Structure 1
């Protein structure tokens, strides 16, 4: 929550931290998300966060909070560089927390794979579940290699 509040106020260390334009923009974005979640149809309610982000971005353009300078100066196409932010650091605390995240992901994937097997009337046996979970683990490794989040079968 602390990070979100800092971002809503303009970012920690910003010269105009807590300025009304930051608070109004973040409040308007949140209000848009809540409004769409409550009054949008099923499809729109599922897209409420995306709609709120787009609305907040569009509202930020006239306030001068959006700078397109870097995007314009960048090449239109660039290849992803593996380990762009440096080589992996093997910190035991980070590894322990990520093992918990991967375990949660594997539980979610197990449920999704089992449910899909039932939907298509092809029960998932131990071998198929193992292959699916290995694919999820491979997706996590590939995501890390290319500076991204883990890719999962249910995502």
Structure 2
């Protein structure tokens, strides 16, 4: 099962290397990784997606807490949260297909950020499911390049689980 971990660390040189080394020594792959400044000066938030069962994630969490600059580790997989990714797609788009590609991008609330004679670069922001969906739709035009950030996430203070609400809407 995929787990999303949110890790607060002191903003010190080498912290990310030590965390990556911890995962590598134990043979775990980090599927997604995003690092950036947190709400407090001198603190960074690392959001990572890793695969493993609950027991493995619990062990990894304990190991992370042993690292000197790690302040807080949360497994937010089952916690209601807002998740986003950023993706840039370079798509084939000549004069005959360009308008269709732009229309499809607009359906996904994506933006065209570069136009060339035979291609477009599209910026997409959203949850990971949206990324998969737009790639599937635009695949027929030919995707030249993709660049994606890792998933970032913050827990919802409201506690509202929008995934649960979406499942209710689907039943109606």
Question: TM-score band, normalised by the shorter chain?
Answer: under 0.3
Return the structure number with greater helix share: 1
Choose between structure 1 and 2 for higher RCO, CA contacts under 8 A separated by at least 6 residues: 2
TM normalised by structure 1 equals 0.27
Return the structure number with greater strand share: 2
Bigger CA radius of gyration: 1
